[in-house]
Structure 1
Amino acid sequence: MGSETKKIKKNALIVLVGPTAVGKTELSIRLAQHYQTVIVSADSRQFYREMTIGTAKPTPAEMQGVPHYFINSHTITQEYNAGTYEQDVLRLLNQLFLEHTCVILTGGSGLYVRAVLEGMDEMPEVPAAIREKLNLQKQEQGLEALLQQLQQLDPVYYNQVDRANAQRVIRALEVTLATNQPYSTFRKKQAIERPFQILRIGLNRERSELYHRIDRRIDHMLEAGLLPEVKQLEPYKAHNALQTVGYQELFAYLEGKYDWEEAVRLLKRNSRRYAKRQLTWFTKNNDFTWFHPQEWEALLQFIEQRMS
């Protein structure tokens, strides 16, 4: 351990969140090097080995020797959810804190971050066939049809859910259909106190700067071979992991729903909208303190003041 890490006297989880393309990867690696620690990913799409270009997964060179967990940890055919992730991460942290006084958790998947920090409601098992049927229904009829179904079956959750988030809508419907009980009746758990200190840090940029970075990232993904990656995944497009920005638009292009120019336009637009939804999710939690990714000295000072 370097001298800096000695300032953190008890087990601490540094949580670094923010919208897509804001700069979480680069800053989390710099922090991990500074504190001589490791990174646990909370990006629910980077778990999957087959989803690389479209998830902006860091390359081994970009990781700069910093150990990363929950990147390439699963295959696309495995069902994996936030509740299971919570248990897996907590077991991992028990081991990591034997060697490190702090660990960095970073990613943009709000539900997965919340699962680690606060715990998840216990949900029933859902047959994969129900989920796949709903995913196919979304592809054939659109999200609006699923929203109408959710409004009828669970009006309470319908009034709470982010209606642009297809995965949340499908999750609510699959539980409701599998149990014949509204999804909202399962969402009652209070936040759980964790046996380690938690420091919540949010990263953001001016909107125009962020949107420019998003557009540039999409261009780089396309140049790097995003379309061939999507073509290889087409047989699995009904899987839950692929109901996401960056893949849905190109599946639609391959089906002939859009021409290439329109597919790219939608890819960029939907990525910007996704970033906006991420910010809305994290800013609802007032426990996060926000920084521009370039405010390195201020960030270090904040961490050391809170965790010394």
Structure 2
Amino acid sequence: MCVLDSVAAVDLLIVIAHVDPPPLEPSSPIPSPGHAAPPRQLPRQTARQQFLPRPAAADRRLELRVLGEPALLIDGEPLNVRRGAAVQVLVLLATHPDGADTRQLTDAIWPGLPRRSLSGRLYTTLSELRGSIRAACGLNLIDHADDRYRLNPSHLDVDLWRLYAAAQHAATAVTDTTSARQAVIDTYTGDLAAGRTWPWLDPIRETIRRHIIDAYVALAATASGPRHALDLLQGAIRIDPYNAELHTRTMNALTALGEHDAAAQLHEGYIRRLIEAGLDPVDDARAGDAGLNGAAVTS
């Protein structure tokens, strides 16, 4: 065995592993006592697959997506995370690369409940999550030390971490700033945990949107022409359709292009959106009127 190549070794194992007799066909003669039945032959490919080594844990490709629909992918295939609280744990830890302690996790996931009753619930959730991940890929993705839980960055790629890195690079870049800002926009693939209404999400979502909007506005300020600048500002509005400053900038851009009717329609649509959302449009209407009159907007 030590000197055989892998193919020969597998073939040898196939030969010696299956010695149970095959089921008898109706027309087959019954073996007489004392005569061993011939060994059952399995399909070569099926039998060979039983002995092929699984990928080593170090070779597994793991990715956590939290921008858009949350998903944990192992070699490109999603892992079914059964508990809703476990999904929250993954997203929350992704937003805290340095980790979170028991109190932070329980207060976020089960707000308003007595904390003394939640430690066991958190332990059960984390134990099941860590166990299912370990069974699927052989890796421990959630480290626990000094009462802090942290995603292991050496085993995992997180889309939000790529966005944070791109935003940091764009904020400090002194050359090729256009590409750096565009990278921030390209990395953003959706709202944090899209569709979820967890109470702790909104402040973090707003911080993430601010990174994207800053990149759009900075690119618009250095755009090659007014039409390109307008396209960028409209892209920013799609990220935050309730942002008064963005609407004012966009109305200014439309007015500069002579598209006064489009500017007025944008203003009216914005006011209508605020009313439908139950927000007070008075102050925002004043900002919009300033935009229609061509007033300058400060950042």
Structure with more relative contact order (C-alpha pairs < 8 Å, separation 6 or more) = 1
TM tier, smaller: under 0.3
Instruction: Please give the TM-score of this superposition, normalised by the length of structure 1.
Output: 0.22
Computing the radius of gyration from Cα coordinates, the structure with the larger value is 2
Instruction: Please give the TM-score of this superposition, normalised by the length of structure 2.
Output: 0.23
